[in-house]
Chain A
């Protein structure tokens, strides 16, 4: 099974700040890495697929990058609605696995 290690688990940040969340796979996943946002009410929103492709409707302040085993999600300038949980997920092979999540909170 491919293990996904996500960091940090908690990220205090301010409005307008640039932040980066990291995700490391236990083996190479050939860019098969996706990102999701979860709000406190449980709503899950897809953000990025295949490392760097923005889901339709997602603001351009979100971006993804990476290769091999190391990937990252960057938000260029935080807006109030961005404070939420973020999860990475690999879809290179079954079983599909998620990172443990990053809570982006207001500093």
Chain B
């Protein structure tokens, strides 16, 4: 059974950093592109970033480009999101998601999400 379990969320002050993790199991992690999608309170879904299965290619949404870094450790079957220079508008639930087989960018599995609150 495919499982994606996010961790690392919490309350952080504006301008500070936070690193999210997503532990994957039930599939060969290194075969799949992965992504982060977020949802601000009472808002819709917003794609944040994607990374290729080997980690060499990354893409970011405009709202996080230059501040967030997506990475992965295939040996640990773990996806990361390093979030720097956090702003109040980054407050959201962050979901880890698996992209379907390459080259599709459809999200075929999602985690339960982890909450990040940026506030002083």
Interface residues of A (CB under 8 A from B): 1, 32, 34, 36, 38, 42-46, 49-50, 55, 87, 89, 91, 94-101
Q: Would you call A95 and B62 a contact (CB within 8 A)?
A: yes
Give the docked Cα–Cα distance between A55 and B110 (Å).
13
B108 at interface (Cβ–Cβ under 8 A)? yes
- Interchain Cβ contacts within 8 Å, total number: 60
Closest to B108 in A: A46
Tally of B interface residues using CB under 8 Å: 23
Q: A44-B95, A89-B107 are in contact. Are A94 and B44 (CB under 8 A)?
A: no
User: Which residues of chain B come closer than 8 Å to A46, judged between CB atoms?
Assistant: 106-110
Instruction: Return A51 CB to nearest CB of chain B, in Å.
Output: 11
B11 at the interface (CB under 8 A from A): no
A96 x B47 contact (CB < 8 A): yes
Mask, B50-82, CB within 8 Å of A = 1, is 100000000101100000000000000000000
Complex Cα distance, B79 from A65, in Å, reads 33
